[in-house]
């Protein structure tokens, strides 16, 4: 009986030994990304990531299928508006959208969720971006220590709105996904985020969306309608303003209805007083239809607002545009 047990343990050890020997280290690297400084709204722009793979295979060649990801503003609808191509030592080709429901083998999450979990959204200060994942059109043969160079290009039609955003890129293989580095140093995936990319020439009547720079005032959710509950945050410490020494801050709001008429809330009282969050930051949550008493068959198109002190005499507006802050109600773009 004892002998059988000993034999079993040996067999188990031998089995795991074989598994370890057969293990592959894919070693995916990204040497750089090419991202222009700016692009024009509704035009195309091309972004390229420069990569190579250095497979470490100890049991012969292996087939590998490339996975590439692109972090883009949701308003670009990059899943529908992006053409992805690659050129490589193993030939050129195209990449198509990762089938819905396909999961990263490491996290067991769908690829976009896995990408967000593993890499986040870079330096973007507003979570209005999404990872869009693409799959290579064929598997290529990877051989031990034979470097494969490849560039992946994303040609995307930019959205209609002006914005600042940091774009993200990653490459991995379908087989290993976001696996932890082999031996702690050989990565199975590689990623980079760009500096701030600017979209210009967009609709001047729509708010500029700046995800790169801290904002004095923000609205959450980024996309909402007048029947949502929105949160305004005010950072009174970002730069010097007329409210520098004030601790009681109020917001006064004008809503523009779809027919052009306006509704205003300009009283100073508990309903429009901001709550302190510490660090000279404040927030207020409200239901726009309720605050502005919008009629049943009326709809608000946008809000403009200023922050006031308790006397209603000192106000803060957008110091960049020198106009009141504004927010447009919308669910897309």
Q: Which residues bind another protein (CB under 8 A)?
A: 221, 223-229, 231, 271, 275, 283-287, 289-290, 296, 331
Residues with Cβ within 8 Å of residue 15, at least 6 apart in sequence? none
Q: Cα separation of 167 and 35, whole Å?
A: 9
Nearer to another protein, 260 or 270 (CB): 270
Beta carbon of residue 229, minimum distance to another protein (angstroms, whole number): 5
- Say if CB 55 and CB 149 are below 8 A apart: no
- Say if CB 119 and CB 168 are below 8 A apart: yes
Beta carbon of residue 225, minimum distance to another protein (angstroms, whole number): 4
Q: Cα separation of 91 and 307, whole Å?
A: 58
Beta carbon of residue 34, minimum distance to another protein (angstroms, whole number): 32
Pair type for strands 250-257 and 230-235: unpaired
Nearer to another protein, 50 or 257 (CB): 257
Beta carbon of residue 322, minimum distance to another protein (angstroms, whole number): 30
Length of the chain: 333
Nearer to another protein, 82 or 224 (CB): 224
Nearer to another protein, 117 or 319 (CB): 117
E strands, 119-162, in order? 129-142, 148-157
Nearer to another protein, 179 or 292 (CB): 292
**What residue spans of the chain are helical by DSSP H?**
2-22, 78-81, 111-119, 288-291
Beta carbon of residue 271, minimum distance to another protein (angstroms, whole number): 8
Q: Cα separation of 117 and 109, whole Å?
A: 9
Nearer to another protein, 151 or 298 (CB): 298
Beta carbon of residue 278, minimum distance to another protein (angstroms, whole number): 15
Helix (H/G/I), strand (E/B), else coil: 112: helix
């Amino acid at each position: 009986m004892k002998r059988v047990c000993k034999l079993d343990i040996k067999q188990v050890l031998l089995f795991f030994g074989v598994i370890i020997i057969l293990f592959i280290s894919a070693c995916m690297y990204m040497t750089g990304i090419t991202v222009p400084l700016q692009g024009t709204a509704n035009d195309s722009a091309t972004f390229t990531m420069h990569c190579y793979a250095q497979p470490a295979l100890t049991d012969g060649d292996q087939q590998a299928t490339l996975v590439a990801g692109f972090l883009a503003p949701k308003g670009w609808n990059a899943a529908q508006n992006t053409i992805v191509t690659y050129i490589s030592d193993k030939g050129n080709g195209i990449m198509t959208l990762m089938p819905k429901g396909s999961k990263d083998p490491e996290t067991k999450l769908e690829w976009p969720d896995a990408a967000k979990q593993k890499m986040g959204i870079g330096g973007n200060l507003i979570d209005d971006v999404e990872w869009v994942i693409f799959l290579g059109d064929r598997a290529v043969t990877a051989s031990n220590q034979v470097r494969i160079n490849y560039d992946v290009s994303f040609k995307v039609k930019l959205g209609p709105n002006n914005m600042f955003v940091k774009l993200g890129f990653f490459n991995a293989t379908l087989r290993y996904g976001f696996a932890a580095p082999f031996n702690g140093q050989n990565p199975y995936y590689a990623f980079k985020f760009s500096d701030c990319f600017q979209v210009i020439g967009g609709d001047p009547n729509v708010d500029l969306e700046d995800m790169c720079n801290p904002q004095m005032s923000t609205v959450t959710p980024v996309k909402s309608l007048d029947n949502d509950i929105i949160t305004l945050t005010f950072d009174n410490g970002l730069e010097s303003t007329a409210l520098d020494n004030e601790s009681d801050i109020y917001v006064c709001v004008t809503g523009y209805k779809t027919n052009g008429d306006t509704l205003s809330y300009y009283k100073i009282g508990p309903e429009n007083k901001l709550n302190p969050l510490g660090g000279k930051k404040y927030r207020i949550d409200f239901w726009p239809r309720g605050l502005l008493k919008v009629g049943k068959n009326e709809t608000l198109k946008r809000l403009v607002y200023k922050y006031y002190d308790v006397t209603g005499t000192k106000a803060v507006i957008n110091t960049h545009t020198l106009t009141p802050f504004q927010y447009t109600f919308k669910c897309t773009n």
